[in-house]
Amino acid sequence: MAKKVIFLILLSVSLSLFVGCGTTAKFVYPSKYDNLIQLYKEPKYSLKVAVLPFEEKRGDENSFAGFWLYLIPIVPYGQISYDRPDAARVFNTINEFNFNVVEDIAKAVVTSLKRSNLFQDVYFTFGGDKSEADLIITGDVISTKYVGKTYSYGLSVYGPVLWFFGLPAGSSEDALSLKIYLNKQGGKTTLWEYAFDKDDSIVQGLYYKWGHDVKAYTSLMEEGMNEAIKSLDEKLSNIPLEKLKE
């Protein structure tokens, strides 16, 4: 009887830890303003730039079934894989990811461009006031893949006991892939385009990185935009300002 009670307690603890105890994470950008590149002290170009919501180009397969593999003795971990983590409800250590992808990514682009001081003004718009801008930025969200592994060490529901002794509880991998385009107002020719494909992974335990399942999306966006802005500055340096305003 005592063994059965212990088993049920371990099962309850195991499942409650795996589903993140109801915690909701949110995409917050930037993680730190100083992480964003600033190329100039004053705006380099007296131009207005409108940034539109990005286009949704991600896959739509969210797979949770592999999570239950951790219950099988000898199997070392269970795995989940989400093309759209914003539509998922169970991760390693959180329960939900608040991420309005096409809008939040576009607004992050605005924040980075403002910080860079490339342009006089940069603003987000759904399209109603884009006619006021000299340049238009659009983009595609190609991937926000999330892969999470929960370690049971082949011990089924008894695996989490090892977590209390500091052994890793699992790992999370975040991937971010985007394409960004710059056009003149009303122009059909793309002046500049840039793509980046980045990923980062962490090992998580009860005492470290807990709740950080999707935190890397912010740092990946910061890194990608810093590189993109350098590329954009180089490209525009070869285009006369009059042509940009035509």
The Cα–Cα gap between 170 and 176 comes to 20
Which CATH architecture does the domain made up of 2-245 adopt?
3-Layer(aba) Sandwich (3.40)
pLDDT, tens digit (0-9, with 9 covering 90-100), for 66-122: 988 988 999 999 999 999 999 998 899 999 999 999 999 999 999 999 999 999 999
User: pLDDT at residue 209 above 70?
Assistant: yes
Q: What is the pLDDT of residue 11?
A: 52
Q: For 120-146, how does the pLDDT look when each residue is reduced to its tens digit (9 = 90+)?
A: 999 999 988 888 999 999 999 999 999
Measured CA to CA in angstroms, residue 210 lies from 48, 164, 175, 204 at distances of 42, 13, 19, 6
Helices (H), 75-155: 101-116
Phi–psi pair at 102, nearest 5 degrees: -65, -30
Cα dist from 144 to 6, 57, 118, 194, 214, whole Å: 39, 10, 27, 17, 10
pTM score: 0.90
Q: Which residues pair with 136 in a beta bridge?
A: 50, 183
C-alpha distances (whole Å) from 85 to each of 48, 90, 143, 170, 239 are: 33, 9, 10, 17, 39
- Average pLDDT score over residue span 10-15: 52
Average pLDDT rounded to a whole number, residues 178-183: 97
Paired tokens of 163: 């977590």
Whether the pLDDT of residue 21 is over 80: the answer is no
The separation between CA 216 and the C-alpha centre of its own chain, rounded to angstroms, equals 6
